[in-house]
A and B are shown apart, each in its own frame.
Chain A
Amino acid sequence: MTTETFDLSELGTYKYGFSMPERYVYKARKGLSREIVEEIAWMKGEPDWMREFRLRALEIFLAKPMPTWGADLSAIDFDDIYYYIKPTDRKSRSWEDVPEEIRRTFELLGIPEAERKFLAGVGAQYESEVVYHSLQEHLRKLGVIFVDTDTAVREYPDLVREYFGTVVPPDDNKFAALNSAVWSGGSFIYVPPGVHVDLPLQAYFRINAQNVGQFERTLIIAEEGSFVHYVEGCTAPIYTTDSLHSAVVEIIVKPGARVRYTTIQNWSTNVYNLVTKRAVAYRDAVMEWVDCNLGSKVTMKYPSIYLMEPRARGEILSIAFAGRDQHQDAGGKVIHAAPHTRSRIISKSISKDGGRTSYRGLVRVYPGTEGSTVSVNCDALILDEISRSDTYPYMEIEEDNVTIGHEATVSKISDEQLFYLMSRGIPQEEAAAMIVTGFVEPLVKELPMEYAVEMNRLIRLQMSGSVG
């Protein structure tokens, strides 16, 4: 054989790997215990019910075994993690009031600029606490609430208590229990009936120190006929030791409301990202997860939707990119619990340089859900011989009168495609990036323009050998 192939190997690059010196007002000692949990609750001045919620969750966390059905989590050392770091005493509504180094971090990440250009509100979390929060005045006047979850516990206790932990109870899984015990920060959003928040609200999560655990807790309540688009981004410095990010997100989509939740996850490759995200959608409601996972060492994340009442709709769009030493175990879960509900899952994954992607999905259709439709599409693109992709599509259909569609493909970048693009003067690296961005295009075009541009840029960065 004289057949040669194009060589696609090269290094991924990460441009958010910088870190700032630690000048924190409080850093709990490493490790997890009842005392640490009490300390967090005390520091935050929380009501008893929340402190008890935390302690109960800790018991559940300690009792539950490590999940072994997904990615390899055996290297996580729960004793070697800082569970709570308070970077500053203040929560600011103006960037000028944010401590210098933290402000510079978010400036480097382009957050204030994005806020000026196309966002209705911004939350910025640094280690365990949200340090900056803003919301456009006209939305505040309409009754929209967008604050960090700690503030919500203090200022909107009834709302929080009514919904907190109802969508993702602490005993859902080991990491939901962990989050419930040590949670800090995250976003609380309340959209009153009929209010449409026309620009996205964004939260940005930044880990700065080594061996940190970040455990934000997000709760979104969209009242009848309302609409909100929430976007979250995240990055961390590159360290040789691992950090842990384990969030819980709960969303309640009331009748006729629509919530879109977009994630652009770009953790450094030393972060374990183990997140539980779940929404309940009622009559005629629409829930959309747009879940883009580019970074992290290991991600396990399956945004889920419970379609509780007739004609509720759910959509999960998942993009995963795994490079060297990365495992993206992503997908989605939909529960059809009412007639004429509709769901669609589209997953596109890319693996390269020995990276591994897994699509893991569950669709459960209960009896009595007649007239419902389910559509699942998962496509994997594998860029070289040492990378890997697996598909675990579970379907539990207990109703006959439903329409189920499922398709899965695995493909490689072919030499024929590369040759074709290169024959037009496009260099190999650019040609490969073009094929990859084309592969995810159907999902990327669902993102707001600014994020689509960012997403394509990140993919190109992952594909390129040059430092960005």
Chain B
Amino acid sequence: MEDALIIRDLHVNVEGKPVLQGVDLVVRRGEIHALMGPNGSGKTTLAYVLMGHPAYPAEQGEVLWKGQNLLELPPDERAHLGLFLAFQYPVAVQGVTVANFLRTALNERRKRLNPEDKGIPIPEFRKLLREKLALLGLEESFASRYVNDGFSGGEKKRLEILQMAVLQPEMAVLDETDSGLDIDGVRTVAEGINRIFGPHLGILLITHYQRILNYIKPHFVHVMYNGRIVASGGPELALELEEKGYEWLREQFAEQPAA
């Protein structure tokens, strides 16, 4: 199962309270999975756990990718295995330019693959960066700004996708990449994602709303509620949710005892 991210029976407590209560999910490369659900259902927690946030240690379960249990690795090791998280709320890093940040990240990756690597030559990096900036409709001056420092909501989300374009992950978790954007912003970001997507990449697209799915066509849709995936289906499930809202989940699943 080299080509799949396999989440098995994942349990996570946050500040003593169970937030994920047995998540099972398989995402293969070349697939887009949308993960939907009401606020507080555990979607962002899942994203953090997958990437290795220190405040979200798993209590139980495993996350397998490329033959390793990701839960045993620090975030940087996970990144080197091709995992990527587009943050819902990316943080500012004062004094560190987008270009410097990306080049450092890229060079760390290269160094991991080949300890002798001297880093990407500057001209090659500039060419790559220029190309990816263009892909997302960003000015070149964007690269000399400090990471997320004074960025608008839309700029932050575009920087996340720019990072994905440069780092070329094989499994990407996109956490509400559409939130806080106006309709043009959603379209721009979605187009960027579509350009990056391909058979080499699996995407877990976390979203509260259906609207980004007008631009990004998922192969599978899952519904999360109370820390579990309670329904899975094809793209039609998203439309059904759009129609019915999340209220019905409460009626159907609220009473289920924790596994």
Contacts and interface: CB of A to CB of B under 8 A. Distances in A.
Interface of A: 1-6, 414-417, 419-428, 430-431, 434-435, 437-442
Contacts of A427: 74, 76, 108
Given A4-B55, A415-B54, A438-B146, A426 B108 contact: yes
Contacts of B78: 423
10 contacts: A3-B15, A417-B93, A419-B51, A419-B52, A420-B91, A424-B101, A426-B104, A435-B96, A438-B93, A438-B94
Contacts of A415: 53-55
Nearest to A417: B91
Nearest to B78: A423
B80 A428 contact: no
B196 to A, nearest CB: 16
Given A2-B14, A419-B54, A428 B76 contact: yes
Interface of B: 13-16, 51-55, 57, 74-76, 78-80, 84-85, 87, 90-91, 93-96, 101, 104-105, 108-109, 112, 146, 163, 167
Contacts of B14: 2
Given A4-B57, A437-B95, A438-B95, A422 B15 contact: no
Nearest to A411: B94
A422 B16 contact: no
A300 B102 CA distance: 39
Nearest 4 Cβ contacts at the A-B interface: A438-B95, A441-B95, A425-B79, A438-B96
Contact of B90 (A420, A431, A440): A420
B93 A435 contact: yes
Given A5-B54, A6-B54, A423-B75, 13 more contacts: A2-B55, A3-B15, A414-B91, A417-B93, A419-B54, A419-B75, A420-B93, A425-B76, A425-B80, A426-B108, A427-B74, A430-B104, A438-B95
Nearest to A1: B15
A423 B146 CA distance: 18
Nearest to B102: A424
Nearest to A415: B54
Nearest to A442: B95
A7 to B, nearest CB: 9
A6 B91 CA distance: 16
Nearest to B80: A425
Contacts of A442: 95
Contacts of A437: 95-96
B95 A423 contact: no
B84 to A, nearest CB: 8
A427 B104 CA distance: 10
A4 B75 CA distance: 14
Contacts of B54: 3-6, 415, 419
Nearest to A7: B54
A435 B54 CA distance: 18
A424 B91 contact: no
Contacts of A430: 104, 108
B57 A424 contact: no
A421 B148 CA distance: 12
A5 B146 CA distance: 25
A246 to B, nearest CB: 33
B57 A425 contact: no
B95 A440 contact: yes
A248 B93 CA distance: 38
Given A422-B74, A425-B76, A434 B15 contact: no
A422 B52 CA distance: 9
Of B16, B52, B95, most buried by chain A (CB within 10 Å of CB) is B95
A417 B54 CA distance: 12
Contacts of B53: 415, 419
A2 B94 contact: no
B104 A2 contact: no
B87 A420 contact: yes
Nearest to A4: B54
A422 B93 contact: no
A439 B87 CA distance: 22
Contacts of B51: 419, 423
A415 B109 CA distance: 22
A425 B166 CA distance: 13
A423 to B, nearest CB: 5
Contacts of B109: 425
Contacts of A421: 93, 101, 105
A424 B163 contact: yes
Contacts of A416: 91
Contacts of B57: 2, 4
B144 to A, nearest CB: 12
B93 A424 contact: no
B93 A423 contact: no
A420 B163 CA distance: 12
Contacts of A4: 54-55, 57
A27 to B, nearest CB: 46
Nearest to A434: B96
Contact of A425 (B90, B93, B95, B167): B167
A299 B80 CA distance: 42
A424 B76 CA distance: 6
Contact of B104 (A414, A423, A428, A434): A434
A435 B146 CA distance: 11
